[in-house]
Structure 1
Amino acid sequence: MEPASQNFQIFVRFPEFRIPTRALIFQNPNPNLTLHHLKSSLFPTNSIPHSSLFFTLNGKPLPDSTPLSQKSPIAPLSTLTLHLRFNGGGGDGGATGAESRDCYLNMYAIKKPDKADPNEMRLSKWLNCSLSNEPLRHPVVIDKLGNLFNKEALVEGLLKKSLPKQYGYIKGLKDMIAVDLAEIPGAREVGTVKFQCPIAGVEFNGNYKFFALKSCGHVMSAKGFKEVKSSACLICHKEFAESDKLVINGSEDEVKELWEKLTEEKAKANNGKKSKKLRNGDAKGEEVAKLAGTKHGIEGNGVKSNGKESTKKFKATAPANATKAVYDSIFTSSKKKSDFKETYSCRSLPLGRN
């Protein structure tokens, strides 16, 4: 009974020869069959010198004496790559400065991190929360610079005081504006929630400019505002001013303009607080004046003053029938110190006291 045939199949790539990958099947291969014989079968001697060709497996070069059989270090169905060696002139990989050619190949075998896709970054900015980077889901809020947030994530960051420094201008709920994003019908069934302009139908993905109305919170595209010109919201018909339109994820210049407006608003608010404190200080001054005896414009000496001088400080004066010595004795000590001299070494023991 004849033994069952054993097939040994491999694949050979030719990246430098512009030849498609070949599948080679060896039926009951000879144990003496090596890569040198394989090169001879692929390229005749008169076309390319065999010394200029070498095989690699997973980036590692293989010697020509490597056998092609079941006991070969080359596993069945492996993919070999045939390279062309360029001798002389430098840059041929002969001198790498490394301990071995294997170190050199491994250095370039490390996959470098892929660069961020600008389209993915743009979509993430429009479809994800700026704080948690999770997909936007209602309730959604927007800050005064046009950044989108999941309200739950933003409130949690405020309570835990864990907001990044770049969002330090958000102090509470007054710095958030609730917005209403119109979902694309059927998008939720696919598994991804996407939004659109309810008027123009353009997708909320960064390819079009969108505005949020601070008065009602509805979000529409600039194209929708342009197609239907109105001073009222096209969804809820609430009147709005041009200053109520807040651009979402605006350009660098638009964000800079919004930041200037935000700074002006905070400056006005701080000035209002200062003026309120000053008014409270005037009220306290009036109470002090009343305690000092200036209530109803009457000074401490019983003389009535006009309204402008009602806050004049109280000045104590001696009664007409009291001498200056008696009156001074009430507030200060009228006893004069004895005339004596003190020594330089001990001021607490004046001379003549004994």
Structure 2
Amino acid sequence: MQLQFFVRSPTHQTLTVTLEPTQSLTLRHLKSSLLPNPRSVSSFYFSLNGKPLSDSTLLPNPQITQLSTLFLLPRICGGGGDGGATGAESRDCYLKMYADKKPDKIDPNEKRLGKWLNCALSYEPLREPCVIDKLGNIFNKESLVEALLGKKLPKEFRHIRGLKDMINIKLSMIPGKESEAADGATFQCPITGLEFNGKYKFFALRNCGHVFSAKALKEVKSSACLVCHKEFVESDKMVVNGSEEEVAALRERMEGEKVKAGKEKKKRGIDVVDGKDCGKLEGNEKLENGKKSSNGGVKKFRAMDVAPANATKEVYASIFTSSRKSDFKETYMCRSLPLGRN
């Protein structure tokens, strides 16, 4: 019986091959008869059902059934069997490929401007009225009041308990920068004209709230404010957005002021808990968890305290059910009488 099958060439042409029962040949001979250039025989191979066939396969073959289709495909020359690497790549290529990507570095200028031009709490652009805490952080007063009312202050600002801990400051607006949409610094030193952008050191005066550059206070030596002429001392100068060392010094001074204020209030008979004024204690009042409590001056009745002169206090007290009530337990049968008396 003749064996008839089809061959699909690389040019997508379908050829019909018929073999006589007495005829026998290999796939290599079949390729030679189909390809015009005998030298290119090794560049092609036969495939059946997606599986490559060896060139030494004899025809007829049990794998090749009647009317089956063989595909004549070109061999793809690669650089090796490891996924396409040719060895031409340098080691540096692989190091870059598998290296952990580092997070993008924050521009120090952007970080500085964000700290000096925006509120330390809401990160919105600074706008009057503004306040400053005792560590040199500047806030929009409106944002701070909302956070205090909603009790949403972050942990880094836990030293702020109310507006009493803040100082109202007066910033000098740069002419022409009244709009909130203006780019860059909005405020400046009223004396030197240096912009309030973090490039220069600024101080706030605690007694009046005016803000000046360090250059202005250094060049104009005066013990009075350069704007309102209110007298101030060296301790009234507070650095704005200071360095870590300057903030640590301000924190130490703030803690010292709290301790000093607490001692003064105690001298006046006012108790202080965690820096809070609890008021003056009077009469039978006690301080519990920072709150005043009073027992009203009424002493609880005890039978043992009013026992007759010749009576044993314990025996006399046993007459009253309230004296030993905790020693007995009620039962479901008789709840009115304690155990041992029914």
- With the length of structure 2 as denominator, give the TM-score of the two structures: 0.52
Checking the alignment, whether the CA contact within 8 Å between 1:200 and 1:221 is kept in structure 2 is yes
Q: Comparing both structures, which one devotes a greater share of its residues to helix?
A: 1
Query: Deviation above 6 Å: which 4+ runs of structure 1?
Result: none
- State which drifts further: 182-191 or 208-217: 182-191
Q: Residue 178 of structure 2 aligns to a residue in which SS?
A: helix
Gaps of 5+ in 1: 1-62, 64-84, 98-103, 286-329, 338-354
SS at match of 1:188: coil
Give how far 1:166 is off: 0.7
Listed one character per residue, the Cα deviations across residues 158-206 of structure 1 (whole Å, up to 9, x for unaligned) are 1111101110000011111111111111123572361111101111111
1:211 aligned counterpart, secondary structure: strand
Alpha-carbon shift at residue 92 of structure 1 (Å): 7.6
Corresponding position of 2:191:
199
- The equivalent residue for 2:91 is 91
Q: Report the secondary structure of 1:250's partner residue.
A: coil
Is 1:334 aligned to residue 334 of structure 2? Answer: no
Match of 1:324 in 2: none
Counterparts in 2 of 1:1-354, with a 5 A limit?
Answer: 87-88=87-88, 90-91=90-91, 113-188=103-178, 191-192=182-183, 194-275=186-267, 276-277=269-270, 284=283, 332-336=307-311
Cα deviation code 1:221-273 (max 9, x no counterpart): 01011121111111111111111111101111111111011101111223334
The two structures, once aligned, show a CA RMSD in angstroms of 3.3
SS state at 1:178 partner: strand
Shift in alpha-carbon separation, 1:247–1:92, aligned structure 2, 3 A? closer
Amino acid at match of 2:182: G
> Could you tell me how far apart the structure 2 residues matched to 1:194 and 1:280 are?
47
- Give 2:193's aligned amino acid: G
Q: Secondary structure at the match of 2:139?
A: strand
Query: Hey, what's the Cα distance between the residues in 2 that align with 1:173 and 1:256?
Result: 22
SS in 1 for 2:110: helix
Whole-angstrom CA distance in 2 between matches of 1:266 and 1:233:
26
Which protein has the bigger strand share? 2
Provide the rounded CA distance (Å) in 2 between the counterparts of 1:120 and 1:187. 20
**2: CA distance, partners of 1:195 / 1:86:** 63
CA shift in 2, pair 1:284/1:238, >3 Å: same
Partner-residue secondary structure (3-state), 2:168: strand
Structure 2 gap segments, 5+ residues each: 1-75, 77-84, 272-278, 285-304, 313-342
Alpha-carbon offset, residue 91 of structure 1: 2.4
Q: Helix, strand or coil: the match of 1:253?
A: helix
Q: In structure 1, what is the Cα distance between the partners aligned to 2:280 and 2:121?
A: 40
Change (3 A) 1:254 1:332: same
Are 1:86 and 1:92, in contact at CA under 8 Å, matched by a contact in 2? no
Secondary structure in structure 2 of the residue aligned to 1:124: helix
SS of the aligned residue for 1:157 comes to helix
Specify the SS of the correspondent of 1:212: strand
The alpha-carbon deviation at position 140 of structure 1 amounts to 0.6
The alpha-carbon deviation at position 277 of structure 1 amounts to: 4.2
C-alpha distance 245-333 of structure 1, shift in aligned 2 (>3 A): same
**Structure 2: how far apart are the matches of 1:334 and 1:224?**
87
Residue identity in the other structure for 1:145: L
Q: What is the DSSP-based 3-state SS (H/G/I as helix, E as strand, rest coil) of the residue aligned with 1:136?
A: coil
2: distance between equivalents of 1:336 and 1:253? 75
Give distance in 1, aligned partners of 2:248 and 2:161.
20
The answer for the alignment partner of 2:11 in structure 1 is none
Cα gap change, 1:336/1:127 in structure 2, threshold over 3 Å: closer, same or farther?
Answer: closer
Relative to structure 1, the CA distance from residue 111 to residue 239 in structure 2 (aligned partners, 3 Å threshold; closer, same or farther) is same
Q: Equivalents in 2 of 1:235, 1:277: separation in Å?
A: 38
**Given residue 197 of structure 1, which amino acid in structure 2 is its aligned partner?**
C
- Look up the equivalent residue of 1:115 and give its one-letter code: K
Question: Equivalents in 2 of 1:335, 1:260: separation in Å?
Answer: 66
1:137: how far off? 0.4
User: Could you tell me how far apart the structure 1 residues matched to 2:92 and 2:224 are?
Assistant: 73
Q: Identical aligned pairs, as a percentage?
A: 56
Provide the C-alpha distance between the structure 1 equivalents of 2:253 and 2:283, rounded to a whole number of angstroms.
Answer: 35
Quote the offset at 1:88 in angstroms.
4.2
Which residue identity lines up with residue 256 of structure 1 in the other structure? A
